[in-house]
Structure formats: C-alpha cells, structure tokens
Amino acid sequence: LLAGSIAVGFLKEPLSGQLSGTPLLRDRLLAVLPPEHPLAACQQINPAMLAGEPFIMLEVGRENEFADFFKSAGVTPVIRYRAKDDYTVMSMVESGLGMSVLHELVLRRNPYKLEIRDFTKTVYREIMVAYLPQSKTSPVVGEFLRFMTEAIQVQKLWETY
C-alpha cells in the first residue's frame, strides 16, 4: 500500500501515520474450547479462567495481539502448541489438545466441533479499509469505499434477523 502497488488494503487499527482509513467492522476476540470442556458450561469466560489451561497459540504476526490480550488480563497462558494457521488451531482444539482465542471472522463458518464463548469484557480489533490520502480522490477508490461501507451495513442488518 505504501509502495503504491495497491490502492486499498484491509488492515487493523492502528494505521500508519501515512495512511487514511475507513472503519468497516469490529472483530471480537473469542475463547475457543474443545467439545465437552468444563468452561463450555459458562455463558462468558473471564480471562482469568484460562490460567493453567493448555493453550494453542496462533502465530504469524498475531502473537503480539494475543499476548497483549493476556497481559492486560494478567494471565500467562500455558502454551502447549504453536500453529501458523487458524484452521490448524481449530482442528487441534477440536481434538482436545488445548484451547485458544481467535477472532470472530475466522470462526463464523468453521467446520469444526468447537465451543465458542465471548469474554466477560468484550475485546475486539477494528478492521479498516486503508488507503493513501491522495488515492481517495480516485473515482475507483471512492466507489470501492462506498461499496464496502454499504455492504458491511447490509451484512449487519442481515445478521439481526
């Protein structure tokens, strides 16, 4: 994006000072538990309840985001495994190898038997359409931003039914 080879990109906040952005949606962080896990009986999970549980950490640049979540909760996860792919994490959790935290967008249409719970305090990342400020004047970029904003609003409306 900064090199100019693309006009827009989907990024999470915060954006580089050289970029502008339009917020699209908030993507919640959720607890992912194996089937039959005792914590699945809870409607919501207090992050402190994760202390001592075997954990599967998603890597590839997102570890810091998850590490920040645990640090702010005052919890040190017992990392049993590390994986580089969301679906690998979900498969490992389904197999009972541990629990994890993943974002709602990844979990929406997963094929695995998982227990997914919200946290007592909602944690999310803001997904933005990012662009260079001068590119917003481009008719194509302007139309794309309008389309994406409208599409997200339609999706939110659809999910309320």
- Give the pTM: 0.82
Produce one character per residue of 8-42: b if its CB has 16 or more CB atoms within 10 Å, e if not: beebbeebeeebebbebbebbbbbbbbeebebbeb
Higher pLDDT residue, 1 or 118? 118
For 42-91, the pLDDT digits (tens) are 999 999 999 999 999 998 665 577 888 899 899 999 999 999 999 999 99
What pLDDT is attached to residue 113?
97
For residue 155 the two structure tokens come to 């999706």
For 2-28, the pLDDT digits (tens) are 888 888 888 887 777 888 888 888 899
